[in-house]
Amino acid sequence: MRALLAVPLAMLAGCASLSSDGGFSSVEQAVESRTGAQVKWVRSEDEANSVRTRVKELLVKRLSAEDAVQIALLNNSGLQAQYAEVGIAEADLVQASRWRGPTFSFARLRRGDEIEYERSVFFDVLGLITIPLSVRGERSRFDAAKSRAAAEALRVALEARKAWFGAVAAQENAKYMEQVKDAAEASAELARRMAAVGNFSKLDQAREQAFYAGATADLARARHAALAARERLTRLMGLWGEDLVFALPERLPELPKEARPGGDLEAQALAQRLDVQAAKRDTEALAGSLGLTKATRFISLLEFGLHSNSETGRPRQRGWEVELAIPIFDFGAARTARAERVYMQAVNRTVEVAVQARSEVREAYGAYRTAFDLAQHYRDEIVPLRRRISEEMLLRYNGMLASVFELLADSREQVGAVNAYIESLRGFWLAESDLQMALTGRSPGAMQMTRTASPGAAPSGGGH
């Protein structure tokens, strides 16, 4: 009896235990190394107050793109829920390392005046033997959960960064649209006065009035776009109440001096992208599940029991019992075949994720380089050219060679060129953010594939 108990007790001594950080430290390192921002899983009131204080400090000053990313990583409630998945996976891992222990039973039976007592204790030997295989599979799933949490944090960081650029660009665009509207209003008022004294045709007056009406509508749309962009940023940062009054910069950051060189971006993506890592770990988990299926193929239940029976007027009866269930009609071939096919399915999906990662990096860099060249063209060619035209138009107006309407029309076109440059600059920073994500994070399609590749329980059913 003591010898039998010594084996499970020795194995229980090596059981895994819950860590103090819930396994979140690796997620922190992965995200911080890629974004430079702090990540925190809030699990107590003190931690919540610490995050709140940090958010308040960042909101006091004019918000930068890095500040927006930091607030989102700390304060986004959906992201906090994703962090909890890491702790859940760790709990599953610890549970898999624990033996369920013996099962005790006690019975009191009566036959006339005779009373019989039956005592039994059963040990789940099969569960004890297969603990290493179960732990191996759960550990791979735990690693995959950490990769998914880090990837989700990177996704939120990317969305917050892009939302910041969108909000600043929309705010700046609305400001220039106000100038267009003011110029159109002045032109329409002048046309009305000149038409009133007979110095302007009804047709020309109607054209100026129509342009003013269109500029007013464009301004309303621009203001709403600025509001929508700001609210999107607000949602990603998880702000509400008094925190909504935050200040953004008046202008977007300028273009870098040079575009980033292409280099071996594909190799970098395969080494750093978290979706590739998650797919590999999910495949490893399936390999562990396949080994578990083969190990228990012919034995579905193996228990060892100790009995102690007593009956009135008779000596106590002691003994042991082994219960072994052998599936006569189901030898596990279907379960093994299913495990093997699910594993090969995961292998092919992992390859597909790698191919997709390579393609996405190439596409993202192409978009980045095109956006850089386009913004540079606006900055160095179109905007300076429009400025020179405006200067020449002003000289012609001062020399009474151009009318005030021509001067106002040129002013509107110059503002339009500036707005186009703002849009191209916004496009560059969005493309730059997408490139960073393509190098280190994951795509929505790859995320869905790794989820469907996760091992699931085999369907239950009787064999024939």
Percent of the chain exceeding pLDDT 70 equals 72
In a 13 Å sphere around the CA of 326, the CA atoms on its Cβ side amount to: 2
The answer to the question of residue 98 being in a domain is yes
pLDDT tens per residue across span 384-416: 887 887 777 777 767 777 666 676 677 777 777
The answer to the question of residue 135 being in a domain is yes
How many domains does the chain fold into?
1
**CATH number assigned to the domain comprising residue 297:** 1.20.1600.10
The answer to the question of residue 464 being in a domain is no
The answer to the question of residue 225 being in a domain is yes
Assigned token pair, 213: 């009406």
* Mean pLDDT over each residue of the chain, to the nearest integer: 76
In sequence order, what are the residues at sequence separation of 6 or more whose Cβ sits closer than 8 angstroms to the Cβ of residue 327?
A: 298, 300, 463
The answer to the question of residue 251 being in a domain is yes
* pLDDT value, residue 64: 93
Domain extent, residue 241, equals: 2-452
293 burial (CB, 10 Å; 0-12 / 13-18 / 19+) is buried
Neighbours of 312 (CB within 10 A): 12
The answer to the question of residue 460 being in a domain is no
Where b means 16+ CB within 10 Å and e means fewer, 404-433 reads: ebebbbbbbebbebbbebbbbbbbbbbbbb
- Name the residue with tokens 């599940």: 289
Average pLDDT of the residues in 268-287: 73
The answer to the question of residue 363 being in a domain is yes
Angle formed at CA 213 by CA 203 and CA 413, multiple of 5 degrees: 85
pLDDT tens per residue across span 283-322: 776 776 666 555 444 444 444 455 555 555 666 666 655 5
Task: Find the radius of gyration of the CA atoms of the chain.
Answer: 35
The answer to the question of residue 400 being in a domain is yes
Task: Place 332 in a pLDDT band, splitting at 50, 70 and 90.
Answer: low
In a 13 Å sphere around the CA of 372, the CA atoms on its Cβ side amount to: 16
In sequence order, what are the residues at sequence separation of 6 or more whose Cβ sits closer than 8 angstroms to the Cβ of residue 215?
A: 177, 180, 181, 183, 184, 185, 412
Q: Is the dihedral of CA 11, 14, 18, 24 positive or negative?
A: negative
* pLDDT value, residue 444: 41
Q: Comparing C-alpha atoms, which of 260, 21, 39 is closest to residue 152?
A: 39
